[in-house]
Amino acid sequence: MNQSNKKSSLSDAVYDYEYLSEDLPIIAVDGIIEQSETCYMCSHFREDFIWVRIMKGTVEMEIEGSRVRVKEGDCLFLNSNRIRELVDVPDGPAECRLLIVKPDLISNPFIQHRLERMIHDPSFSSTIISPSNPLFFADMDAIFELLRHKPQEYEFAVLSHYLSQLRQILRIYRHTNPNDTFSQNTDIASLREMMAYIGEHYSEQLTLDQIAESGKVSRSKCTRLFRTYIQKSPIHHLHSFRLQKSVFLLNNTDLSISEIAYKCGFNQQSYYNRLFMRQFGMTPKEAREQHTRKGSPSTHSSQEE
């Protein structure tokens, strides 16, 4: 996804985006979350730090099993490798400013040492920042302006503002965990492993046994962890992930629908069509035609498999 002044779908930015460059793994976009995107953004986690600043409206998300509500004027910081899902846009389309940064953007031992504790602390999944002073967002706004105009040697200025913004987050983290101690949540660690395995092997014919084995848990515990933290069965999450990938291919490639079904792990196009209809309320062909006209397909809450 290219960075530009044009407002884009948040789901595109979160799921299928490209960093500015290999040397500057950062993306900054002004996005719109449409009401129709509810339940389209299936549960996922990424290694990036993400700032979601709400410019207009309200957004509700599930983060590691807890629901958070982010209102206009707030900024939600999402820690690296946390399970999150867009739940609802209760007040209609919401406008947001999204900053996505790879944690090792600055490969400095001192900085990485400071970040490691925060990244691996299971008690610090996210934080909502409600600044009374608009200067709090000065660094984020400066990054957006630099990436928009790209003056000579702008990368140095971007890194400077990013370090300042990261310092704010680390100060918040230190305030919430002054003793710098935490214990590992093994259930969350197992769930992340299983979701990562699905993300890497979704095009293959996966079984519940394989998913559970990737997290080093039993079948029953595998199912319990998925239902506890993301309110879906493992297979339902697998199907949602495959459907999400198929929407991207429908919207961005000329592959036939049967080719897309196969690439996303569906052996039969008829089964793919049936699940797609259940999830989005239209066929893949209709979704592709609608995207050609105006954008991503409308979505509906899907039923458990």
pLDDT in tens, 72-100: 999 999 998 887 777 788 888 899 999 99
Regions of the chain with pLDDT less than 50: 1-8, 13, 37-41, 296-305
What is the structure's pLDDT at 232?
Answer: 87
d(CA 293, CA 287): 10
For residue 264, count other CB atoms closer than 10 A to its CB.
Answer: 20
What is the structure's pLDDT at 41?
Answer: 46
Burial (CB count within 10 angstroms: exposed 0-12, middle 13-18, buried 19+), residue 65 = middle
Q: Which of 161, 42, 36, 149 is CA-nearest to residue 101?
A: 161
What is the structure's pLDDT at 145?
Answer: 95
What is the structure's pLDDT at 271?
Answer: 95
What is the structure's pLDDT at 25?
Answer: 92
* Alpha-helical runs (H) found in the chain: 10-15, 109-120, 138-149, 154-176, 186-201, 208-214, 219-230, 234-252, 257-263, 269-280, 284-293
pLDDT in tens, 127-179: 998 876 777 899 999 999 999 999 999 999 999 999 999 999 999 998 877 66
Q: Tell me, what amino acid is at 69?
A: R
Task: Using a cut of 0.75, tell me whether the model's pTM lies above it.
Answer: no
Burial (CB count within 10 angstroms: exposed 0-12, middle 13-18, buried 19+), residue 155 = middle
How is residue 177 written in tokens?
A: 């965990």
What is the structure's pLDDT at 18?
Answer: 75
Residue bearing tokens 């500057």: 24
Burial (CB count within 10 angstroms: exposed 0-12, middle 13-18, buried 19+), residue 262 = middle
For residue 299, count other CB atoms closer than 10 A to its CB.
Answer: 22
User: What would the 3-class secondary structure string for 235-259 be?
Assistant: HHHHHHHHHHHHHHHHHHCCCCHHH
- Domains in the chain (CATH in brackets) are 8-176 (2.60.120.280), 186-293 (1.10.10.60)
How is residue 296 written in tokens?
A: 């991503």
Beta strand pairing status for 94-101 and 26-33? antiparallel
d(CA 213, CA 205): 15
Which residues are bridge partners to 63 per DSSP?
Answer: 66, 84
Give the neighbor-by-neighbor strand order of the sheet with 66-71: 66-71, 58-63, 84-88
C-beta of residue 287 within 8 angstroms of C-beta of residue 275: no
Total length of the chain? 305
Residue bearing tokens 């769930």: 191
Sign for the CA dihedral angle at 17, 158, 47, 42 comes to negative
d(CA 12, CA 262): 22
